[in-house]
Amino acid sequence: MPFGEVAMNKFWTLLISLSFVSVMMILPCSQSWGESLSALPPAPPVPSGNLQTAAKVALGKTLFFDPRLSVNGSVSCAFCHVPTAGYGDPKPVSLGVGGKRGGRNAPSVLNAAYFPLQFWDGRAGSLEEQVIGPLTNPVEMADPNYQSIVARLNKIHVYRVRFHQVFGSGVSIDHIAQAIASFERTLVTPNSPYDRFMMGETNALSPAQKRGLAIFEGKGRCAVCHNGALLSDGAFHNLGVPQVGTSSVDVGRYAVTHNMSDKGRFRTPTLRNVALTAPYMHDGAFRTLGEVVDFYDAGGGKTPYAKDVLIAPLHLSKQEKSDLVSFLNSLSGETEKQKSYHASRFH
């Protein structure tokens, strides 16, 4: 049965919690951080205009892995959102049709359904909007327009049949977006060792991971921005990440808002499954979690724009860095089990 209204209520509860935590994080470091972290809710929000059904999810999964969505049949959604790489891109910057290099590393789709804004710069306001963006991007799937995609899929008998079964009509760009977004909403990963620890299973984390959690919440200041159930404040920050992508200058959030203070700002990614999604940062600047920790420990990098005031040297010891990386490795959830969970909810 559809569960959109229940899920939406949980979502707004989560957002309110995250907003409260974000305010609390500006308090002095002596403030207790214990309420800054929480377990992942069981289901992401579902819009009333695109309720989940098993058939729609199955169609979306087929489309997600079908390279025929691209202009020459060479690139699928899964080409950049690789399941074995945590549905992120193991390449520093993503490649499109003809090997064209983009300027950013494709973020993971896992748990993306919980975020109200999509992409590193937040330019899409829903998963449905996010889905169709790459289709006509000249360095991604490079379709000349949406009509060409619809015409191509309408020539495939099995798609005509399945779209009629799911939507009661033929292929359309809106229905393509709705189907793929429905599949993406099943890609949630609860029940990580960290989740089990937060729910009272004291042995779910190793001694090193427990020490790393203490660093994460305290001296490492990670929870200032990586807080709440998603381990992300959902906000945009400039850390001084080195620009190693193909863009000579990437202004980040500014390209969406045209607000000068947003230059060089990128969304705080969720840390869930972070051990699976190397390389890291918006342009794949760092290959390992150790490099990321070193970057933060040094107080971030240089930037031509205003760096976030929250970024400062941490002075972590070698052992503290090692423990912090150990904790980050505890954040991977159980994707396959959750797929089964969602499938059972539809019957």
Contacts of 272 (CB under 8 A, 6+ apart): 40, 110, 111, 189, 192, 230, 231, 331, 332, 333
Catalytic choice (35, 128, 129, 140): 140
Q: Is 291 labeled as catalytic in the residue annotation?
A: no
Q: How far apart are alpha carbons 122 and 177 in whole angstroms?
A: 18
List residues bridging with 267 in a β-sheet.
236
- Give the pair of three-digit tokens for residue 10: 């949980």
Q: Residues with catalytic annotation? A: 140
